């Protein structure tokens, strides 16, 4: 209870730091909101992979003389705009750039994803968008290029233009980052992703919001940041060649799933074993016997079975919360009237939630392959399960770990919904007991591990300079 009280007390601070869209200096000076530049200091926010926002600062944009032909191109595009092109402008203008690319990620992952590739893709894409937008903001205010309509009133944008410099285009930056990461992990979708990135970038030019050179520079910057993220996440690709340990209460099997994922690099955690839980109950202990008896005597009902199946084969057939996270962040930002917050703050929300989910998974895998705990039906082969037993050790529960980590960060971002997110994590963990594939100690250890990962992500958010 003391831990939960501390988390609730910290919620208001994180929420205000994350979603505030005002400059304290401007507020003190009485500058009206309509005249305030959008966070000129955001280029100095803490990044996940690149060393800083200025790490990839762009060269100066074209000078006034070189910009003249771009005016003519802009006016021609706006004049020729038809219903179809305007529809695509509106499509890409919906919410923040992160919103649309998280939707695209889900479509791509459902069609081309397998195993844990979608989990990895979600975090790498959102981290790349986040870092790319921080780099974009550094370049924007380093060069302070006026928007086309500010330089020439004959250009009339067809979208609401942000109060920020034009170069580089933030939608193009996000498109370049997202499409590059997704194409790396889903190569069968490379052509489609490239076309969508180009369309997203072109839509801002067609809308009269940026110059063509802003859009081109944005795509290049996004791709450059994505390359850094892909390099950061690269593993040595060496497959595990060890042997499964033997002994009482230890997992039995071959080719344990996910054992190579222990080597995945984390983002908020300093090491994959940073919060490794203590050992599970001894195989010959009274506690273990009681846990096994709980599973054997559990009275399954159509409701518990359906919920066990739901959490195992959740949205689009993938277990857990992964595909719901992007939807939830986008929905809550829109519901709170915050779908028009600066793109960096929206990107930050998406990245924080997916980092928590991903880092928790890696931490859970570390503990699994440290303890090698047998599954319940390996203790008692007569135990039946509602869903197939995963081919890897039992302790702790991945479901409980990733569910609680993501729920904690979601609750910090959207405190009004915090209890609902916790109920998701609770039910996700309990469903593994109802299904017969986890002991209660697996779930409880997972919940605690997930909370600690979620707290680490939230603490990092409070120290990343986004004020």
| Mean pLDDT value across residues 26-37 | 51
Tell me how far the alpha carbon of residue 372 is from its chain's centroid. Answer: 29
The answer to whether residue 120 scores a pLDDT higher than 70 is yes
| 3: three-class secondary structure by DSSP | helix
**What is the CATH architecture assignment of 259-462?**
Orthogonal Bundle (1.10)
Question: Which pLDDT does position 466 carry in this prediction?
Answer: 58
Residue 20 has pLDDT above 80, yes or no: no
Residue ranges, comma separated, of all CATH 1.10.606.20 domains in the chain are 70-233, 259-462
Digit-coded pLDDT (tens) for 285-294:
999 999 999 9
Fold of 70-233: Vanadium-containing Chloroperoxidase; domain 2 (1.10.606)
Mapping DSSP onto H, E and C, the string for 149-169 reads HHHCCCCCCCCCCCCCCCCCC
Q: Is the dihedral of CA 366, 367, 371, 374 positive or negative?
A: negative
Q: How far is C-alpha 389 from the chain's CA centre?
A: 28
Residue percentage of the chain with pLDDT more than 70: 90
Q: State pLDDT tens for residues 380-434.
A: 999 999 999 999 999 999 999 999 999 999 999 999 999 999 999 999 999 999 9
Model confidence at 218, in pLDDT bands (50, 70, 90)? very high
Is residue 142 within 8 A of residue 171, CB to CB? The reply is no
In which residue are the tokens 């195992």 written? 312
Give the distance from CA 301 to its chain's centroid.
35
* Per-residue pLDDT, 41: 86
CB 214 within 8 A of CB 166: yes
As a whole number of angstroms, the distance between CA 395 and CA 418 comes to 27
Give the relative orientation of helices 440-462 and 343-371 as an angle to the nearest 10 degrees: 140
Distance CA 177, CA 232 (A): 14
HSE, side-chain direction, 13 A CA sphere, residue 237: 2
303-359 pLDDT tens trace: 999 999 999 988 767 778 888 898 899 888 887 665 457 788 899 999 999 999 999
pLDDT score of 71 = 81
pLDDT in the model for residue 318: 77
Q: Is the pLDDT of residue 262 over 70?
A: yes
Q: Which of 258, 263, 256, 257 is CA-nearest to residue 234?
A: 263
Return the CA Rg of the chain: 24
Residue with tokens 């996000």: 174
Closest CA to 321 of 420, 254, 441, 248: 420
Averaged pLDDT for residues 102-127: 93
């Amino acid at each position: 209870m003391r831990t939960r009280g501390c988390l609730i007390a910290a919620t208001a601070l994180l929420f205000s730091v994350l979603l505030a869209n005002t400059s304290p200096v401007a507020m003190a000076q009485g500058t009206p909101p309509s005249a305030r530049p959008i966070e000129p200091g955001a280029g100095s926010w803490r990044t996940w992979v690149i060393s800083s926002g200025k790490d990839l600062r762009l060269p100066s944009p074209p000078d006034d003389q070189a910009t003249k032909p771009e005016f003519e191109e802009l006016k021609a595009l706006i004049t020729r705009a038809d219903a179809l092109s305007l529809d695509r402008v509106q499509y890409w203008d919906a919410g923040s750039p992160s919103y649309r690319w998280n939707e695209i990620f889900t479509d791509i992952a459902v069609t081309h994803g397998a195993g844990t590739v979608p989990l990895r893709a979600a975090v790498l894409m959102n981290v790349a968008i986040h870092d790319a937008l921080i780099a974009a903001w550094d370049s924007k205010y380093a060069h302070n290029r006026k928007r086309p309509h500010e330089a020439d009133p004959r250009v009339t944008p067809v979208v609401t233009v942000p109060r920020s410099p034009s170069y580089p285009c933030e939608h193009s930056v996000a498109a370049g980052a997202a499409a590059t990461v997704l194409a790396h992990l889903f190569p069968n979708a490379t052509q489609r992703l490239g076309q969508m990135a180009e369309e997203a970038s072109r839509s801002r030019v067609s809308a009269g919001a940026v110059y063509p050179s802003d859009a081109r520079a944005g795509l290049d910057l996004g791709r450059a940041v994505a390359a850094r993220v892909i390099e950061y996440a690269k593993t040595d690709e060496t497959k595990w060649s060890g042997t499964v340990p033997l002994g009482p209460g230890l997992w039995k099997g071959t080719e344990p799933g996910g054992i190579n994922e222990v080597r995945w690099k984390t983002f908020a955690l300093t090491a994959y074993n940073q919060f490794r839980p203590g050992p599970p109950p001894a195989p010959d202990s009274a506690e273990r016997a009681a846990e096994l008896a709980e599973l054997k005597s559990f009275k399954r009902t159509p409701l518990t079975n359906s919920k066990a199946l739901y959490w195992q084969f959740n949205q689009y057939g993938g277990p857990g919360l992964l595909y719901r996270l992007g939807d939830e962040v986008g929905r809550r930002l829109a519901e709170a009237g915050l779908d028009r917050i600066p793109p960096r703050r929206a990107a930050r929300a998406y990245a924080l939630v997916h980092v928590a989910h991903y880092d928790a998974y890696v931490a859970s895998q570390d503990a699994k392959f440290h303890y090698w705990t047998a599954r319940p039906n390996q203790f008692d082969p007569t135990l039946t399960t509602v869903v197939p037993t995963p081919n890897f050790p039992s302790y702790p529960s991945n479901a409980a770990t990733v569910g609680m980590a993501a729920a904690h960060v979601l609750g910090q971002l959207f405190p009004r919904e915090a209890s609902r997110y916790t109920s998701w994590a609770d039910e996700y963990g309990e469903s593994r007991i109802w299904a017969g594939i986890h002991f209660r100690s697996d779930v409880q250890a997972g919940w605690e591990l997930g909370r600690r990962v979620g707290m680490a992500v939230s603490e990092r958010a409070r120290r990343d300079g986004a004020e």
